[in-house]
Every structure is written in C-alpha cells, then in structure tokens.
Amino acid sequence: MPDIVLATLNAKYIHASFGLRYLMANLGGLRERACMAEFHINQTPLEITEAILLHEPHIVGFGMYIWNVQQTTEVVALLKRIRPELIVILGGPEVSYETDGQEIVALADHVITGEADVKFAEVCTALLGDAAPLPKVIAAELPPLDQLASPYDFYTDEDLAHRVVYVEASRGCPFTCEFCLSSLDVPVRAFPLDAFLAAMQRLLERGATQFKFVDRTFNLHLPTSMGILQFFLDRWRDGLFLHFEMIPDRLPEQLRALIRRFPPGAVQFEVGIQTFDDATSKNISRRQNLERLADNLRFLREETGVHVHADLIVGLPGEGMESFGRGFDRLVALGPQEIQVGMLKRLRGTPIVRHDAEFAMRYAPHPPYEILATRDIAFPDMQRLRRFARYWDIVANSGQFTTTLPLLLQVGSRKSEVGTDGASDPSDFRLPTSEFRLPPSPFSSFLRFSDWLHATLHRTHQIALQTIAQGLFDFLTGENGADRATVAAALEADWRRTPGRETLTLRGMPAAPAPAKPAAIRTARRQARHTQAH
C-alpha cells in the first residue's frame, strides 16, 4: 500500500492534472511509496473519500484550484472524521495566497504555497521520518526548472488517448494584469528547450495528438516559439492539434511565416484581449497595443488556418455596459472564430482588490468568486451580461449557427427599423431600460436576443439545440421581422452541416425535405465546424 496519495479533483474527466504529475516525478526515493488518485468535481465527496482510504495512506496531498475547493473541503472533512491521524497536505493556486480564514486550511495539517515540485518531497520525507514538527504553512522556493524531473512519463496511455495533455515550455508571465494570478508569477523561466522537445518527441511516439501549452505567453521569446512550432511542423501528421495562449500584439514576420504553414484548424491560439477600453486597461495595469493587435488578428483570420479564440472580461473596474459593448463590436469586426466572454473573478492573491472601494466591486463570496455588480454595471445588467455570455457560447462559439448568426448580428435589423413581414406578434417581452442607450450593433442585437431568449425559456442550461434553433427562428422573424423563408433556409443550412441529423422541424414553417444521401459521420469538433463555415 502507498504511504502517500497525491489527489485532486479535475474540472472534468478529460482534464488530466499536470501539477500532480510534476510532484510525482520529483518525489525521488519516495516515488515507489506514492500513487496518484485523480477524480473530477462531479463525483460525490463520499465516493472520493472511500477511494482514497482504500489505499490506507499516511499522507494525502490535494491539488487545490478554484474549481475544486468546495468539494475538496467536504472530502477533507470526511477524511478527518474517519481517520483523524491521516496527514493532509494542501497545495495549488487556491491555497497559495490568503490562507487565513479558509475552511479547508483549518482542516488540513500543512499547506505548501507556490510551486511545490520539489518541496512536496522534502515535506513528506520530514513527515515520514522523525524530523522536528513543521509549520502549518510552508512556502516553496522557486524550483530550478533545469533540474526538475520530467512529468510527461506520468501521462498513461489512457491519458494520451482520451484526455487533454498539458505541456509547458516556460513558467511565469512578465505582465501585470491585476485580475490574473499569473501576474504574480515573476520572473519568466524557461525549461531547457532540447530536453523539452525530446519529451514532446516521446509523447508523439506514444501516440499523443492533442497538446495544450499552459505557458502564459507562448510568443514571448521568439527563438523558443519558433523552435516549438518548427518541431511540430516537421513531424506533422493528421489529427495533431496544438493549443497556445498568446499575447495579441506580438507576432513578428518570422513567426507569421511559420504559422501560415499549419493546416486549417490544427492550431488554436487563445488570445487574451480582456478589454478595448484604455482607461480600464490602465486600471488593471494591462499594456497592449490595440493597433498591432487588430493587425495580428486580421493576419491570423485572413492568412492562416489558425483557430482564434479571443477573450473579453465583463465587470473590470471602470468598464460599463456601453464600453464593453463597443469592445465586443470591435472584436466581432476582427472575426475570431470564438469570443470567450468571461465574468471577472476575484482570485485569491490578485491585486485587483485595490479597486474594491472606488469602483464598488461586489464579488460572490463563494468560488469562483464572480463579479455581481460594480459602480458601472448594476446587478440586473450584470445578470443580463452573464446570460449573454452563456447564450453566446451556445449560439456563436459552438459553431452550430454560422449561417444564421450574421442575420442576428446585422445592424438595423429591428422590426421598428426595417418594418415587418406581418409574421408572429412580439410576445410580452419588454426591452430592459439600459437597452435604449445602446446604439444598434452586433452587441446590442445579440443582447436583445439574449434578453428575449431568457424571457421565453427562463433558463440558460440544458437547452436542446432544436430549442435554440426554434428560438432563433421566432426571434428573427417575430421580433426582428426578418423574412421567414430566409431565416428557415439559414437554419436549415446550419442544421445540415452536421451529417446524420434528423430533419429540422420549425414551428410555423413546413418541414424541409431530408437530404438525398447522408454524408459520412465525422467527429463534430467545434474547431472543425468553424473551419467548414469560413
């Protein structure tokens, strides 16, 4: 039986815990006395507790993140009730700052803050030997990356076949965005590139196809970014998929030339933009060159097959509904395949708290500590934007309605502005007051749809795609007075893009004939749907 169990609750089964694999790899002589136990947040605390206790460990280490702190607190409470002598060690970003007052910290024996790759082994050695008692909170020094044992062999064949494989060529971020935990991770440190690429080679040989880089800013150091891209390009095979996080205003010509050479949909860039408002950028200490950003996004969309996933944040200090809307419209015009609208979260340790008083920032007290209201966005409007984000994900980011979406976003499409074809009457839906301040634009058009959809369905989750299609039809033809045949044809085209589907039936339209011969069924990936549409 292992003396040490390294456990964590992942956000979903498909996400393997990278942090635990580092700790396992660097346990040295204790490695044979340890095992990993990964769970996901939808498993019950009792089931998790039972599985951990089956190992009869002396020490359990938990990887703590914003997505698992509530459930892990229950697990630790159960473990301590059943086996009070069990030593519980916590680590990870959620317990690396503001440890005072956290329920789970009170329940645990030790907390190791920061990068614990090496420190965890040291602490376990001390606890399993007869060293002097250790303090409750132990700070890990930054580990020397060139001396760390590689974690990649701890991805099993099952991980490689069914889960996202996380990899990293560097740690830390030189930027100081106040909402982000990585702003505290200075300085930037790189893993030796040759050893890193050798590890990637082994993963490729073992059949890995999906590589998700967790480097905060992939395009920070040009020779390294180019070395990595060239490495994968030289070994390219069908089915490979690479994901990188990048800063949007740095894409020199040498990097552009390499990026152009990847096949469509094979590379995804997550581009953090967060806000287009200068004053807001200043408030959160984020520097970006908006002109270069626009030029780079245009390049990526027009000259490459890269899937661009751009992030905006709702609720930043100083950003109101209108300025957020203007930013959203600028981004829509730049045409990324996905716009991730995220609600601001107050992450433990981040300096954004300095704005709490001036901007009346109100965050939920429980994880994920989402913004509820600010000086510039009252709670009812924040709720509208939260729903906007959710519906945008379902309708736009999903890639399911790429033909219909432009009909919804086109400016000047309201019934009052373009007249009506005399179709169904609008429901008793009323526009919320702040709507009247917003000029017609993709943002205000989608916000109207989002308000209407919520007033009609009263929910934002568990909505069948057929229900969304009907909602789009009813809104566009009823509220916007669009031509019924045009909308039905667009929805039909979207529907048929996924082969093998039943015919789309829309209330208020005769059923369209089914296609003569269904095409072969392919894996329906979000990226693939966007690629087919553009």
Q: How far is CA 103 from CA 72, 263, 325, 434, in A?
A: 11, 49, 39, 40
Cβ-closest position to ligand B12: 91
How many residues sit close enough to ligand SF4 to count as binding (CB under 6 A)? 10
Sign of CA dihedral 374, 379, 384, 389: positive
Examine residue 173 and tell whether it contacts ligand SF4 (CB under 6 A): yes
Query: For the CA atoms of the chain, what is the radius of gyration?
Result: 25
Task: Please identify, among the stretches 175-183, 313-321, 438-446, 495-503, the one whose residues bind ligand SF4 according to the rule CB under 6 A.
Answer: 175-183
Three-state SS at 353: helix
Cα(first)–Cα(last) distance of the chain, in Å? 55
Considering beta carbons, is residue 148 or 290 the nearer one to ligand B12? 148
Considering beta carbons, is residue 228 or 247 the nearer one to ligand SF4? 247
Which one of 5, 9, 24, 177 is in contact with ligand SF4 (CB under 6 A)?
177
Three-state SS at 63: strand
In the chain, the largest separation of any two C-alpha atoms, in whole Å, equals 84
How crowded is the C-beta side of 404, counted as CA atoms within 13 Å? 34
Examine residue 324 and tell whether it contacts ligand SF4 (CB under 6 A): no
Examine residue 182 and tell whether it contacts ligand B12 (CB under 6 A): yes
Considering beta carbons, is residue 212 or 448 the nearer one to ligand B12? 212
Closest to 215 measured CA to CA, from 261, 262, 182: 182
Between vectors from CA 28 to CA 27 and to CA 31, what angle results, nearest 5°? 60
Considering beta carbons, is residue 248 or 478 the nearer one to ligand B12? 248
Task: Please identify, among the stretches 114-122, 169-177, 390-398, 435-443, the one whose residues bind ligand SF4 according to the rule CB under 6 A.
Answer: 169-177
Residue 320 — left, alpha, or beta (φ > 0 → left; ψ -120 to 50 → alpha)? beta
Binding mask 256-285 for ligand SF4 (x = CB under 6 A): ----------------x-------------
Examine residue 180 and tell whether it contacts ligand B12 (CB under 6 A): yes
Considering beta carbons, is residue 97 or 299 the nearer one to ligand B12? 97
Closest to 330 measured CA to CA, from 278, 281, 279, 294: 294
Task: Please identify, among the stretches 91-99, 327-335, 372-380, 520-528, the one whose residues bind ligand B12 according to the rule CB under 6 A.
Answer: 91-99
Residue 172 — left, alpha, or beta (φ > 0 → left; ψ -120 to 50 → alpha)? left
Among residue numbers 17 through 46, which ones bind ligand B12 (CB under 6 A)?
17-20, 22-23
| Binding site partner of 272, from ligand SF4, ligand B12, none, Cβ cut-off 5-8 A by kind | ligand SF4
Residue 265 — left, alpha, or beta (φ > 0 → left; ψ -120 to 50 → alpha)? left
Which one of 24, 52, 124, 181 is in contact with ligand B12 (CB under 6 A)?
181
> Contact positions toward ligand SF4, by CB under 6 A?
173, 175, 177, 180, 182-183, 216-217, 247, 272
> Contact positions toward ligand B12, by CB under 6 A?
10-11, 15, 17-20, 22-23, 61-63, 65-67, 89, 91-94, 112, 115-117, 120, 166, 168, 180-182, 214, 216, 342, 345, 347-348, 368
